[in-house]
Amino acid sequence: MKESKKEGDTKKKLEEFGEGVLQEIEKGKGPKFVTLSRSRSNVRYDEKKGILSLGGNSEERNFVNVGQAKRFMQTMAIASKCHKFISENLHTTIRGLFYQLKYSLGEDIDENIFNEQAESNPLVEDLEVSLGVKREDLNLNANRKGVLAGNMRVIDHFGGERIEIDTSKQGRSGWAIPSDVDNEIEFVDVKAKFVLVVEKDAVWQRLNEDGFWKKENCILITPQGQASRGIRRLIRKLADMGLPVYVFNDADAWGWYIYWTIKTGSMNLAYIGNEIATPEARFIGVTMKDIENYDFLKKLVMKANEVDIKRAQEMLQYPWINRHKEWVAELQKVIKTKTKLEQDTLQAPKLTFIDDYIREKVKKKDFLP
């Protein structure tokens, strides 16, 4: 079995964290640890990397501080629970963790020190940042969504078994992308030439049915809407293998948001931006510009709603977006014409037109940055 990152890494980090606290107590010092502020004021756009990440504002958590003592104890309880989960080789979610914390903190503590999950969630993040791990490394699964098809294999070290999954043999279903694509999962024989991420499952199914990923030798992914942590991490990993990443979404507020979240990461997850952002990603479409090139789309544009217009205006304010004249033109077109476009429209002339569209865009490298 592939050496688990957790056994060799996260578990040890948790132990060192606990031992460090103990040592400080033994030395008569007040135990403390350092984390980074995740407030918006400490989120910055890293020009060089092209991702949203945290700035240097660190925060100390001190046990000997009336305002922090309870949260410190709570953090230790979370660390202890996660250490147990890793030792047992069992996973749960931040909700499962919360119920464990609320029920009992251990044999010796009977007091109810957790009331709401809103108390435990930020402390999990504290621990992630402080230890330099992701919650997935703490055996805390995040929501998963999305499927994949393509010429590669997955080795899933699961339940003591080595399960091999050929993602080119999953039929109409595709391979359901797990929450954690790092620990106990290997991607082998990745033979594709590029990654195609498609916003909607319906369009993914269309392309899968046409064997698009076979013909064009790509890895075909749908996040089924916004990309989960696991999918963003998977896209990052595939990009690290040298594959170009093309994202195919609606030309509307939601489609743009999904793209930029994949590309630069998000404010909320700026603390793991390095691991989940893929600045190399390119936007394949659909675009308002497509309407000039594909005449039939004129008939199929939709009225943009307030959310779309407002989002376009906001995006024009972001320096990492308005530096690209192509995006400025695209967003201004939406604001000016008050229209938007769905990727599903490309099925209008014939069901397989989507395939032709993507093939041509990839061939001409006709992307938005």
- Contact flag: residue 163 with its own copies (CB under 8 A): yes
Interface segment toward its own copies; rule CB under 8 A; list 33-41, 64-72, 293-301, 309-317 = 293-301
Least separation, in Å, of the C-beta of 69 and its own copies? 23
Q: Which one among 15, 296, 307, 314 touches its own copies, defined by CB under 8 A? A: 296
For 282: left if phi > 0, alpha if psi spans -120 to 50, otherwise beta; the answer is beta
C-beta pairs of 207-211 under 8 Å, 24+ apart in sequence: 207/354, 207/355, 207/358, 208/149, 208/172, 208/174, 209/172, 210/352, 210/355
Phi, psi values for residue 134, rounded to 5°: -105, 160
Beta bridge partners of 34: 60
Span interacting with its own copies, options 27-35, 42-50, 97-105, 321-329, rule CB under 8 A: 97-105
Q: What is the smallest separation between the CB atom of 344 and its own copies, expressed in angstroms? A: 5
How big is the site for its own copies, counted in residues (CB under 8 A)? 54
Contact 60, 34 (CB under 8 A): yes
Query: C-beta of 264: minimal distance to its own copies in Å?
Result: 28
- Contact call for residue 174 and its own copies (CB under 8 A): yes
**Interface with its own copies includes 188 (CB under 8 A)?**
no
Interface residue with its own copies among 10, 74, 130, 179 (CB under 8 A) is: 179
Tell which positions 105-144 bind its own copies, by CB under 8 A.
112, 141, 143-144
- Pick from 347, 366, 367, 369 the residue near its own copies by CB under 8 A: 347
Q: 203: which residues sit within 8 A by CB, 6+ positions away?
A: 222, 248, 343, 344, 354
75, 213, 283 from 206: Cα distances, Å: 47, 11, 19
Q: How far is CA 18 from CA 26, 32, 69, 83, 128, in A?
A: 12, 11, 16, 10, 14
Let me know: does 198 contact 192? Beta carbons within 8 Å.
no
Binders in 189-228 for its own copies, by CB under 8 A: 201-202, 205-206, 209-211
Judged by CB under 8 A, which of 18, 96, 225, 244 binds its own copies? Answer: 96
User: Does 337 participate in binding its own copies (rule CB under 8 A)?
Assistant: no
- Answer for which of 69, 344, 366, 367 binds its own copies (CB under 8 A) is 344
Give contact residues for its own copies (rule: CB under 8 A).
85, 88, 90-93, 95-96, 99-100, 102-104, 112, 141, 143-144, 147, 154, 156, 158-159, 161, 163, 165, 169-179, 201-202, 205-206, 209-211, 296, 299-300, 342, 344-345, 347-349, 351-352
